[in-house]
Amino acid sequence: MVLEIFFAAGCFWGVEKNFEQIEGVVDVESGYSGGNYDNPTYRDVLENRNLKGGGFLETLRNIANSNEETEVEDILINHTETVKVVYDPDIVSTEYLIKNFWQIHNPTQTNGQGNDIGNNYRSAIYWTTPEQQAIALQTREDFQKLLNEKGYGDIVTEIMELDKFWPAENYHQDYLVKNPNGYCPDHSTGVAFVDRDIKTAYHDTIRPLGGKEIVVIGPEIEGTCLFCLKLETEVTSKYSGSIALRTAPASALQGFNLTTETWAAPTIFFIEDGKEVWANQGFMDVKEFYKALGKFKLGANSESYNVAFNDGTDRRYCKQYEIFNNTPDGVFVDKLSGRPLFDTDYRFNSKSGWLSFTRPVTNEVYEKIDYSFGMVRTEIRSVSSDIHLGHVFNDGPGGLPRYCINATVLEFVPRIKI
């Protein structure tokens, strides 16, 4: 036997994704509930969101969470963006789902979540069984105490028996899966239940390290943001650069001077001495991330940035070449990603004025045909950051290749530190 319960916690895209990944949830569908007009569309609920709509009746619903019959004529009550959650109570409990609901948004915000303002974004639970109603009311009381301890006001969540659920348009279903290059709206308070079987927010405080650093805003509840997981898998988990990178929920940040809002997960901040230099809300692919990092670390007008992103070339016998041509044993790493690229064991002096190697580190560079300047050459690029490194020629010692590499896009790590 499966049960149904209906939740509204702001834009239904993120709420749908949150419940879809819970074991025991059979199906999740986005739609509209809580209004008093038939066949609502997305356009309808947006157009009606600015009405003071609902008036006294809506006040009763939001503040008193009442099912009491109230005779009010000719008052339009707008629908709220709702998700239907179908679940197997033998696998996941009603209490788990409702507690999760309280934790993923701010139930003290009236008619909105974050910058999404309107009664179509109001917080609501629409129950279908008396047990669900009892658990909703009890957990509301329990969560209210936790919120009060953190300085939050009263919960205004509408708790009503479901009247009607209207499925949303097809393009709203699984929206975040269909649009993988965005962000998850995260309006949660960071306040959490302490039950062992309930996912809780993590609260380790982080403060500025001083100097340059990268801070990625993640979800308040671990594992609930598809785009954050994608960013970690494709970009940040492979980053080993010299600029520190940390991930934390917005509630954990203290002492930072930020101008970009932190409600979107992920939000990537480039910070210097605690102050925001640059930020991006939403997922960034490898190329986008490292090009932005290049401007932050190298400077957009620097020689190394020109080499890395404009396929430039170091001057022969440049200062960095002179330093790197006579290092002790070690590894040359990508200046941005920190990944190893070339080993001193395969370095040789080609007397060309550029660093030369007979081979790269396995699987860390790739080749690309380069037709620039009327020539046909084989370009070498970094797998991790996709920056330009140099070219490979067939005139190395003993018939081996010569990897002709620009020194300004590298950093050196002595063998002892590896």
Residues involved in catalysis: 11
Rg (CA), the chain: 28
State how far the Cα of 418 lies from the Cα of 111, in Å rounded to an integer. 54
DSSP lists the bridge partners of residue 387 as: none
- Tokens 């969540």 locate to 157
Strand, helix or coil for residue 167? strand
Quickly count: other Cβ atoms within 10 Å of residue 195's Cβ.
Answer: 11
Copy the structure tokens of residue 80: 């709220």
| Amino acid sitting at position 355 | L
HEC states along 303-368? Answer: HHHHHHHHCCCCCCCCHHHHHHCCCCCEEEEECCCCCEEEEHHHEECCCCCCEEECCCCCCCEEEE
- Pairing status of strand 123-127 against strand 410-414: unpaired
The β-bridge relationship of strands 410-414 and 264-265 is unpaired
Rounded CA separation 225/174 (Å): 14
φ/ψ bin of 111: left (φ > 0), alpha (ψ from -120 to 50), beta (otherwise):
left
